[in-house]
Amino acid sequence: MARHSRHHLENFAVNSIDTGRLTVCVRELADRVDGRPLVLVHGNVSSSPFFFPLMAGLEHEAPRIRPIAVDLRGFGGTDTLPVDATRGLSDFADDVWSAVDALGLGQVDLLGWSMGGGVVLQMICDRPADVRTATLINPLSPYGFGGTVGVDGRLIAPDGAGSGAGTVNPDFVEGLRTGDDGTTSAASPLTVLRSFYVAPGWDGADEELYLASMLSTAVGEDNYPGDSTTSPSWPGVAPGRRGVLNTMAPTHLDLSAVTDVEPKPPLLWLRGELDQIVSDTSMFDLAHLGALGAVPGYPGADRVPAQPMVAQTRSVLDAYRSGGGVYTETVVAGAGHSPHIERTDEVLGALLMHLDA
């Protein structure tokens, strides 16, 4: 599948860290045991190898930085433990902090991609003084994924209908469960990687590595995607209380409290211009799909509008700035949901400027 590789896998060390909560898989540069720690937190249906190009760039361009990529529970090489979705993303945030503490890192820079961006925001809410800076790459909205309207994240239905585990394509889940590595299905993991994780024009480097990373996802009601309930509101499903997708349901997650933390670490918000996953017109938001005619029974945009995910993030970050914080928004032209693998050099440059500032 892959045309070529940007980096040499022997440059990466894989370690298992017993934190007392669970055993966490941590991937680092093999020869970088000192330096300023930068903790990288991956997104949903992925794991830390998605950061290998960025880590390889840091190896050559920033000898003072020690990148440490952490696999979240149920992904990659970390223990598969149940996810309590009623805590929002706090299970994941607590796990990452436990790894930081077990490694004795002290104050850290954080970088989170997609769902990992939400984990990073939760980590800032929990321990702001321990965060030197934070970088958010295509982060999910502070108000979760699906089921809200307006820049203030108001619920469309009281039960969060239109969000959570019940909104996922069951064929995609089955592809993860069976380890499907082909493209015969429009919902296969490889098809989703090529169609939505990246924008057209990506060179395909290390595609097999990223697919294997996706297929490492633990599947089930306690992990991905989670459980769901029926709803009287369109589209007829509401979030349950267990598993990954329910952690991002707006009935369980509200990260807008980050605006009140003290101290406020400087934030860099990096996003791909062509992102189809975290977007004001997301191809994974059932409301937007309903407006396109792809989900039956759509009641109309006046009743169930698409979630303005990017506008919600900007609103919360503007409030963060108004409260004395600093943030920079950088749009990566031509990139999709994964600019750190699509436009690695651009992301690396912006990240180093942020860390230096």
Domain boundaries along the sequence of the chain: 9-356
pLDDT beyond 80 at 145: yes
Please list, in sequence order, all residues whose beta carbon lies within 8 angstroms of the beta carbon of residue 280, skipping any fewer than 6 positions away. Answer: 306, 307, 308, 309, 310, 311
Is residue 4 scored above 90 in pLDDT? no
Give counts: helices (H), strands (E), the chain: 11, 14
Does position 240 have pLDDT exceeding 70, yes or no?
A: yes
H or E segment to which residue 165 belongs: none
Residue 241 has pLDDT above 90, yes or no: yes
Burial state string for 10-27 with b = 16 or more CB within 10 A and e = fewer than 16 = eebebeebebebbebbbb
Give the residue-averaged pLDDT of 41-49.
Answer: 98
| DSSP state, residue 326 | -
How would residue 5 be classed by pLDDT, with cut points 50, 70 and 90?
A: low
pLDDT at 185 over 50: yes
Residue 8: is its pLDDT beyond 90?
no
Amino acid at 307: Q
Q: Check: CB of residue 45 under 8 Å from CB of residue 115.
A: no
pLDDT exceeds 50 at position 134: yes
- Own/partner pairs for 301-305, CB < 8 Å, 24+ apart? 303/156, 303/234, 304/156, 304/162, 304/234, 305/149
What is the DSSP secondary structure assignment for residue 145, as one 8-state letter? S
Cβ atoms of 270 and 138 within 8 Å: the answer is: yes
Give the amino acid at 160: G
Q: Give the model's confidence band at 6: pLDDT under 50 very low, under 70 low, under 90 confident, else very high.
A: low
Mean pLDDT of 239-266: 98
Rounded distance between C-alpha atoms, residue 217 and residue 220, angstroms: 10
Topology classification of domain 9-356: Rossmann fold (3.40.50)
**What pLDDT is stored for residue 9 in this prediction?**
67
Q: What is the DSSP string of 206-242?
A: THHHHHHHHHT--EETTSEE--EEE-SSTTSEEE-SB
How far is Cα 145 from Cα 91, in angstroms, rounded to an integer? 17
pLDDT digits (tens, 9 = 90+) for 278-327: 999 999 999 999 999 999 999 999 999 999 999 999 999 999 999 999 99
